[in-house]
Amino acid sequence: MGSRDRKRQLKRMYHRQRGHCVWCGRKMLPPGSHNGKGTPPPLLCTYDHLDCRYSEDRGKHPGEFRNVAACWECNNNRAAMQQANVPKSVLWAKSGSYPTSPETPC
């Protein structure tokens, strides 16, 4: 999906949810209301997936309904909590970046 299509989809989700975050229910700022500089406002509307990237259910929701509009704060916090529950070996394998130990030459 291209950037333009993704922006359109985010606007559709925002309107479908009547401007409320799918996770906390607070009223969000409309998509595109942030200039992209610095940390986004906590209530900025962002694109989120129903299933995290580590979920076994990932990809089982049909089409557009696998994505939701969520405030930046919920989206960011949810991702951090989910990642904290994933074993380090899985995170390293997915990122392709393995830690080096003092004994291992760089």
pLDDT band at 35 (very low <50, low <70, confident <90, very high): confident
pLDDT tens digits along 46-93: 998 877 666 666 666 666 667 899 999 999 888 777 777 777 777 677
The Cβ of residue 26 has, within 10 Å, a number of other Cβ atoms equal to: 13
What is the average pLDDT across 94-102? 63
Mean residue pLDDT across the chain? 80
Under DSSP, is residue 47 helix (H, G, I), strand (E, B) or coil?
strand
**CB distance 26 to 1 below 8 Å:** no
10 token code pair: 């985010």
pTM of the model: 0.70
